[in-house]
Amino acid sequence: MPGSKLDPIDRHILSELQADGRMTNVELARRVGISAPPCLRRVRTLEEQGYIRGYHADINPRKMGFEVQVFAMVGLQSQAEADLTKFENRCRAWPLVRECHMLNGEVDFILKCVAPDLSTFQSFLTEELTAAENVASVKTSLVIRGAKDEPGLPFDVLEARLRQDA
């Protein structure tokens, strides 16, 4: 299991940073039970090894005027690797698309989109997404409300699994 390559202190560092990426190194070191210099070295190593991909603020979309959230299920005409890659690259260029995931099954991709209003999303849908090269079908679902939006990983599940495997 990939997470088992890290020692318990590294996993604790990741868990704490996932919960609060703004804490100081001194506070992080205190929480994980080591001194600040080795804590900072560990964090830098975790960043260099790709365990930590970045830091960001969790912005409330509605407070910023983005009232509409939609999931779009996209079917492509061709699933050749070059066509899949081309579609993924196109998704990266669309500002309203916040997440893009390739799926197994009837739907090729699911996109999480945000927009300030329904007409803005509708314009994106008709002028950009459905008009894009290789797109065969698009089905959309408007989010009425979200019950859970938890970023990251469930570290408690990882730790329980590691205890079972030990």
The residues near 111 (Cβ < 8 Å, ≥ 6 apart) are 71, 72, 74, 91, 97, 99, 100, 101, 129
pLDDT in tens, the chain (166 residues): 455 589 999 999 999 999 999 999 999 999 999 999 999 999 999 999 999 999 999 999 999 999 999 999 999 999 999 999 999 999 999 999 999 999 999 999 999 999 999 999 999 999 999 999 999 999 999 999 999 998 889 999 999 998 888 7
pLDDT confidence of residue 163: 87
Does domain 2-57 sit in CATH 1.10.3720.10? no
pTM: 0.86
pLDDT confidence of residue 165: 83
Name the nearest CA neighbour of 18 among 67, 48, 55. Answer: 55
**In the chain, helix, strand, coil percent, each to 5?**
45, 20, 35
- For the domain 62-142, what is the CATH code? 3.30.70.920
> What is the SS3 assignment for 7?
coil
pLDDT confidence of residue 102: 98
Name the nearest CA neighbour of 37 among 47, 25, 45. Answer: 25
pLDDT confidence of residue 113: 98
pLDDT confidence of residue 1: 44
Domain residue spans of the chain: 2-57, 62-142
The CB density around residue 138, as the number of other CB atoms within 10 Å, is 17
Return d(Cα 21, Cα 15) in angstroms, integer. Answer: 10
pLDDT confidence of residue 76: 98
